[in-house]
A and B are shown apart, each in its own frame.
Chain A
């Protein structure tokens, strides 16, 4: 499941927040400092994460360590989202 995060997030950012198709997205580059997304983009990103993964992101979690690079977002999601396979195994 986690391996899908990077692909889904990159696709969302590319399709919804990056209007310039020539921009190259890097997993470790700051999305805000490189101008890929602005404060409104951060709002959109948070909504996407909450709706897609069924999580709630508190205000104190909206920090660069969690959201400023694709790599950070994936790491953050790994702490917020319970893998379905694990849950299934526990139930068994």
Chain B
């Protein structure tokens, strides 16, 4: 039964990656930029929950809502102040470097406010979970909640994108920004909305991440952020189901290789898989093939 336990743990970690990757992939697909600071939005969300729940001993639910609101505002503000001025810059690297600057800024701001010491985060999921079979398979509450939340988010996002006007606008902007403008779509508003959704998802992912791995530091978001980006690329960046698949695959591989091969090498294996997948399919599992017209 232990394999099943690891598999479920992998699924849970993968779900967290998937939620982060959804934010990454939406921003990439629509704003055409790598938001390197996305991982740090997660960290901000965690600190908000930590402050409200542990320091001010507030309600968990209030904490999560506050984290979502603050992250959304953070995402929108960052886009407005730091990224939008660089839209249309001569090099796409300009906005990438700015995003790195934002990442440094958030990490060091957290360092200044909360210090470098690792805070122990108390899980937002109070449920202990279930025990199956003769007691050998125990699934933690947070694991089940994580998987469930990610499924709900995926469905909600798909519905939003395909069934609402705003979602259609996002697709149009992703496809061709110039044409979308001509069709009367407000590109700025659409991109702002994308950042809002992506950042809100980062807050949710943060709550789940720190509940499963309860140590919080200013750098908590960085590595999961990068892994989620890898997941988004693995699934085919710009594709929402792709981000989900990529996240799950990544989480499962990471947990299984940590368990069965080497915890030291697990990251190398995760990145190795990415390399192999991209060599076979250069635009990821569900990515569209791009061919330059001669």
Chains A and B are bound partners: no
Q: Footprint of A on B, CB under 8 Å?
A: none
